[in-house]
A and B are shown apart, each in its own frame.
Chain A
Amino acid sequence: MSALTREETEALIQEVLEVYPEKAKKDRAKHLTVNDQSIEQSKKCITSNRKSLPGVMTIRGCAYAGSKGVVWGPIKDMIHISHGPVGCGQYSRAGRRNYYVGMTGVNSFGTMNFTSDFQEKDIVFGGDKKLAKVMTEIEALFPLNKGVSIQSECPIGLIGDDIEAVAKKTTAETGKPVVPVRCEGFRGVSQSLGHHIANDAIRDWVLPRREGKAFEGTPYDVAVIGDYNIGGDAWSSRILLEEMGLRVVAQWSGDGTISEMEKTPFVKMNLIHCYRSMNYIARHMEEKYSIPWMEYNFFGPTKVAESLRAIAAHFDDKIKEGAERVIAKYQAMMDEIIAKYKPRLQGKKVMLYVGGLRPRHVIGAYEDLGMEVVGTGYEFGHNDDYDRTIKDMGNATLIYDDVTGFEFEEFVKRIKPDLVGSGIKEKFIFQKMGVPFRQMHSWDYSGPYHGYDGFAIFARDMDMTLNNPCWSKMTAPWLKKEEPVAEKEAA
């Protein structure tokens, strides 16, 4: 099927909206649009970061998920207490696959779940005492922890516990950082506010800790910010930066440590991968410590080369040469991969619906493989994300914000993409519909996808999914009519 024209796409949106009641229809219409590259400001065509409609299936998370799951969780040598009832932490435990090196339970705690396990009694009488007790137990059981963060779940804000006081008291006792984070799930419309709250907590409780202390810097110090090391992403990015001659002082926060974060105010440049979840802290560091920041994109060889050059442009000739050397070194390997997979994937259409940075960042990687992204959308993007997306997407492609389960299914039925990339909640719906699917949050148990090494895996995975023989077996043998004859002829 050829791509839809602008009119057809607009008609499609109208058709899908038809089932909603009048008010919901009006609201949802603002979140769906047909891309027009000539528009400068996304606000003119799409509304984002608004409360989801009651009654529709949204795919968003809560502020606690944004703080504990995304920003704080991957800091491996800290213990992150899911403060409140046990479920929020337990059901999200270790699902994100942010890899780390270390001994789990000894000096790293990434995949473990710590909770204060609130009971009725704690809700009625307050949980501060229990929290203090949890802290003492943590110190006794896991003495190698480098600090604790208190990630509030919904009840904490509702009953008005003073977690800041407990945090201050415990810090005074242990000398380790204890960070209270007010990321109760009911705050904000999605996990996005959780990222902001988490950034603010880092700003207030972590960054000032080493102010004025000595630091042996080099002119090539950088921090990688907003890479969560999903399946090893940060590692495959970091080696490229190091190969070109930069010194990566800190990794935020995949495979990161609290001391790396404390040292970040000393770096020369902040490199931001996930703009959505970490731009706040980058802006803060720019103002307070005069550290410039830039966004980069390590998906697919075209964008990697572009980004390496853009990063090098901020440094001297040594780094610029380094960047060229790295690009040249991997060129042969990339050519080989593209030669192998492009013929198998050429012209295939992809629809995406993810969060954070991927709805726009991965477009380049698909294009390198000759594929085309025909629809994209963010779970919790803001206007500034859509501003950046409009240019990356083709004209007359579909853009959807906080898409509902129903809309997404209808779009896929009509646009008939060859591949859908979204989260685990969507995966089985589409697979049952017979549409090849990749889980693009945690790379479907694969990865890394960043950097040159990541692209090799990305290309293989896309091929493996798209050209899997199972997709031709979607009709039961007795319902098939023509094909056996054709097969005989071919034999």
Chain B
Amino acid sequence: MANIMIQRGSKTEYVFYLPKRDLEDDIVSMEFDSPEKWGGEIKLNNGGTYYIDPQSKPAKLPISLRAKRLDAAE
């Protein structure tokens, strides 16, 4: 589990930021993206995938969350 931050992006809707590794990347897909259920598996532009517990859509971004790494790029 790692602390991450999800922000609004300019190219894609969401941008993923992992402070520990200075990884800032666009989120290309998110498993759930509706007002009631938001989160789940997220795929990054660099090929990595992370998992955040599905929750209701946050009222405002950015938001700090805990995420599990499923598959980091290289």
The interface of chain A, by Cβ under 8 A from chain B, is 40-41, 43, 49, 280, 283, 286-287, 290, 382-384, 387
Instruction: State how many angstroms separate the Cβ of A8 from the closest Cβ of chain B.
Output: 28
CB-contacts of B27-74 with A (<8 A): 45-46, 60, 62-64, 73-74
Q: How far is the CA of A49 from the CA of B64 in the complex (A)?
A: 23
How many chain B residues touch the partner (CB < 8 A)? 17
Choose from A40, A280, A283, A383 the contact partner of B23 (Cβ within 8 Å).
Answer: A383
Closest to B7 in A: A286
Instruction: State how many angstroms separate the Cβ of A121 from the closest Cβ of chain B.
Output: 39
Most chain B CB atoms below 10 A, which of A40, A41, A290: A41
Known: A49-B22, A383-B23. Contact between A287 and B5, CB under 8 A?
yes
Determine whether the beta carbon of A387 is less than 8 Å from that of B19.
no
Choose from B19, B24, B60, B63 the contact partner of A280 (Cβ within 8 Å).
Answer: B19
The interface of chain B, by Cβ under 8 A from chain A, is 5, 7, 17, 19, 21-25, 45-46, 60, 62-64, 73-74
Known: A41-B25, A49-B22, A283-B17. 8 other contacts (CB 8 A): A41-B45, A43-B23, A43-B74, A283-B5, A283-B62, A286-B62, A383-B21, A384-B22
Closest to B5 in A: A283
Residues of B close to A280: CB separation below 8 A:
19
Choose from B5, B46, B60, B63 the contact partner of A43 (Cβ within 8 Å).
Answer: B46
Most chain B CB atoms below 10 A, which of A43, A280, A387: A43
Closest to A385 in B: B22
Residues of A close to B22: CB separation below 8 A:
49, 382-384
Q: How far is the CA of A383 from the CA of B22 in the complex (A)?
A: 6
Residues of A close to B5: CB separation below 8 A:
283, 287
Q: How far is the CA of A154 from the CA of B33 in the complex (A)?
A: 47
Could you give 10 example pairs across A and B, Cβ below 8 Å? A40-B46, A43-B23, A43-B46, A43-B74, A49-B22, A283-B17, A287-B63, A287-B64, A383-B23, A387-B24
Q: How far is the CA of A49 from the CA of B21 in the complex (A)?
A: 9
Instruction: State how many angstroms separate the Cβ of B22 from the closest Cβ of chain A.
Output: 4
Instruction: State how many angstroms separate the Cβ of A310 from the closest Cβ of chain B.
Output: 12
Instruction: State how many angstroms separate the Cβ of A71 from the closest Cβ of chain B.
Output: 17
Determine whether the beta carbon of A287 is less than 8 Å from that of B62.
yes
Closest to B26 in A: A40
**Main secondary structure on A side of the interface with B:** helix
Instruction: State how many angstroms separate the Cβ of A193 from the closest Cβ of chain B.
Output: 12
Q: How far is the CA of A290 from the CA of B62 in the complex (A)?
A: 8
Residues of A close to B73: CB separation below 8 A:
43
Instruction: State how many angstroms separate the Cβ of B6 from the closest Cβ of chain A.
Output: 10
Determine whether the beta carbon of A40 is less than 8 Å from that of B45.
yes
Q: How far is the CA of A50 from the CA of B4 in the complex (A)?
A: 21
Closest to A48 in B: B22
Instruction: State how many angstroms separate the Cβ of A49 from the closest Cβ of chain B.
Output: 7
Residues of B close to A290: CB separation below 8 A:
60
Q: How far is the CA of A287 from the CA of B63 in the complex (A)?
A: 6
Q: How far is the CA of A290 from the CA of B23 in the complex (A)?
A: 22
Instruction: State how many angstroms separate the Cβ of A36 from the closest Cβ of chain B.
Output: 16
Known: A286-B7, A287-B5. Contact between A384 and B24, CB under 8 A?
yes
Q: How far is the CA of A43 from the CA of B18 in the complex (A)?
A: 14
Instruction: State how many angstroms separate the Cβ of B19 from the closest Cβ of chain A.
Output: 7
| 8 tightest Cβ-Cβ pairs between the two chains A and B | A382-B22, A383-B22, A287-B62, A384-B22, A384-B24, A41-B46, A286-B62, A287-B64
Residues of B close to A383: CB separation below 8 A:
21-23
Residues of B close to A287: CB separation below 8 A:
5, 62-64
Residues of B close to A384: CB separation below 8 A:
22-24
Closest to A292 in B: B8
Most chain A CB atoms below 10 A, which of B25, B73, B74: B25
Q: How far is the CA of A387 from the CA of B15 in the complex (A)?
A: 15
Q: How far is the CA of A43 from the CA of B73 in the complex (A)?
A: 10
Residues of A close to B60: CB separation below 8 A:
290
Q: How far is the CA of A41 from the CA of B45 in the complex (A)?
A: 9
Q: How far is the CA of A290 from the CA of B61 in the complex (A)?
A: 8
Closest to A196 in B: B19
Residues of B close to A49: CB separation below 8 A:
22
Residues of A close to B23: CB separation below 8 A:
43, 383-384
Residues of A close to B17: CB separation below 8 A:
283
Q: How far is the CA of A216 from the CA of B45 in the complex (A)?
A: 43
Instruction: State how many angstroms separate the Cβ of B48 from the closest Cβ of chain A.
Output: 10
Instruction: State how many angstroms separate the Cβ of A179 from the closest Cβ of chain B.
Output: 21
Closest to A383 in B: B22
Residues of A close to B21: CB separation below 8 A:
383
Residues of A close to B64: CB separation below 8 A:
287
Instruction: State how many angstroms separate the Cβ of B13 from the closest Cβ of chain A.
Output: 16
Closest to B62 in A: A287
Q: How far is the CA of A286 from the CA of B62 in the complex (A)?
A: 7
Instruction: State how many angstroms separate the Cβ of A50 from the closest Cβ of chain B.
Output: 12
Closest to B22 in A: A382
Instruction: State how many angstroms separate the Cβ of A22 from the closest Cβ of chain B.
Output: 23
Q: How far is the CA of A41 from the CA of B17 in the complex (A)?
A: 14
Q: How far is the CA of A383 from the CA of B19 in the complex (A)?
A: 11
Q: How far is the CA of A387 from the CA of B74 in the complex (A)?
A: 17
Closest to B46 in A: A41
